[in-house]
Amino acid sequence: MLSTTPFMIIEVGATFFLAGMVKGVTGMGLPTVAMGVLGTLLSPVTAAALLVVPSLVTNVWQLLAGPNFGALARRLWPMMAAIVAGTVSGTALLASGNTRLTTCALGAALVLYAGYTLLSRQILVPARHEMWLSLLVGVSTGTVTGGTGVFVIPAVPYLQALGLQKDDLVQALGLSFTVSTIALAVGLLLRDAFHDNSLLLSTLAILPALAGMWVGQVVRKRVSPATFRRWFLIGLLFLGAEMFVKPLL
């Protein structure tokens, strides 16, 4: 059973407040931060279970705020279907109980995400390659999601490479994150990976996550998003490296 001591509740609340603030400033990052921080305190499968409800609420909010849901859903459905398949099958790794392997995998995912985002240049995907690339990226993203609870690689750089308008990109990210969260929840449920108190703590985390998003939106008006994003990614890079190396020592 997952502990619901006051200390644990405070830790979870503070984590999701921070994660929500990052999402409020940058438009993404809630699951990445939450899994990165909680992964140092709990097993990755427990951290992923706590992620489900606040991530779903914030991502549905982001998804429904955009103007072109129908058009994006028709365009991206192969990728979304592949994400579901990859995620549900990939949760076998999270639910295996091999915390050493899953912690290393989570650390590697964080390093890859932070390093790629810091160093990469924008690329564009030719329309003629979009169908097969969507399937490949969807399966890859799903496998990473199911194995680590982080659903940004390679979905985020791929969606950025489709040349979508700003509002469409934000909504497409919301669609991808929402589908990934639901698929992660289904995969964990099928593998009986939810602890008795996981859903309770996950539901309680909605309020600090939303409060963090509001604070992040205020911060975005006062601090350069590019500066905040750079230091956030640097911090994530070091956190991921520590998570990757520690189980190997």
pLDDT digits (tens, 9 = 90+) for 4-61: 678 888 889 999 999 988 888 777 778 888 888 887 788 788 888 889 999 999 888 8
Domain that holds residue 22: 6-248
Question: Is 40 part of any domain?
Answer: yes
In which band, very low, low, confident or very high, does the pLDDT at 99 lie, cut at 50, 70 and 90? low
178/142 Cα distance (integer angstroms): 12
Asked if residue 102 is part of any domain, the answer here is: yes
Instruction: Answer whether residue 226 is part of any domain.
Output: yes
Where is mean pLDDT largest: 30-34, 41-45, 133-137, 224-228?
Answer: 133-137
pTM (predicted TM-score): 0.82
In the chain the beta strands, taken as DSSP E runs, fall at none
Q: Is residue 177 part of a domain?
A: yes
In a domain, 196, yes or no: yes
Residue 150 lies in a domain: yes
- What's the token pair of residue 237? 């890079």
In a domain, 1, yes or no: no
118 in a structural domain: yes
- Residue 234 Cα distances to 40, 104, 110, 231, angstroms: 17, 18, 11, 5
Domain count of the fold of the chain: 1
- Compare 113 and 134 and report the one with higher pLDDT: 134
